[in-house]
Structure 1
Amino acid sequence: MSPSRRVSLVLFLSLLAGSLLPSRAAPLTSELRCQCIELFSGRIPIKRFARLNLYPAGPHCANTEVIATTTEGREVCLDPEAPWVKVAIKRILEKNNENNQL
């Protein structure tokens, strides 16, 4: 399986899984479109993230979308340009890289 197909498959499965949880994101319908209607402007401590999904811009949406699922199960759309969101993504990627090297 080519890397681009693998990324597409992971993105599709993430979108499908995300549509099953109640959220402030737009519901996924038969057409692909942006999931985030509004962006959360506050700050969430990284330890409260249960999951962080990053959806790059593409034919379904012109915006990069970052959707965080909190430990309470709430989904929140974050501003991908906010400095604290960039730091959170970097830390989570670094942590995942450390775990993968073990």
Structure 2
Amino acid sequence: MSVVSIVALLVFLAVPQGDASEQVIPRCQCINNEKRTIGRHIGQVQVIQPNSHCPYMEIIATLKTDGITICLDPNLPWVKRTLESLRAQQRL
């Protein structure tokens, strides 16, 4: 190999191809949903409507005690009641 070829190869290998942290694959955040009633332990709730990255409504709750986030099943009656209660509190 000639010196020019070796230098060209080294330059090509030295050029960064992009940071891996910038390459985010869009997908649903909730894989498993909690089914047990945990309404009184919920501190905050984030509701993510269906979008181009995920066709499902996602409800992500943060627990009061330890800050763990848990996905909730939006079809369960206790989840619907909890959301209505939190919305009513926010209107006050």
TM-score, normalised to structure 2, is: 0.70
SS of structure 1 residue aligned to 2:91: helix
- 80, 83, 86: which one aligns with 1:89: 83
SS of structure 2 residue aligned to 1:66: strand
- CA distance in structure 1 between the aligned counterparts of 2:47 and 2:84, rounded to whole angstroms: 12
- What are structure 1's unaligned runs of at least 5 residues? 1-28
Query: Do structure 1's residue 55 and structure 2's residue 51 form an aligned pair?
Result: no
Kindly report which structure 2 residues correspond to 1:14-93, keeping only aligned pairs within 5 A, or say none. 30-46=24-40, 48-71=41-64, 72-93=66-87
Structure 1 residue ranges, 4+ long, deviating more than 4 angstroms after superposition = none
The sequence identity of aligned pairs, in percent, is 30
Offset of residue 33 of structure 1: 1.0
- What are structure 2's unaligned runs of at least 5 residues? 1-22
Equivalent residue pairs, number: 69
- CA distance in structure 1 between the aligned counterparts of 2:39 and 2:55, rounded to whole angstroms: 27
Offset from partner CA, 1:34-65 (integer Å, 9 cap, x none)? 0011111111033x212101000110100000
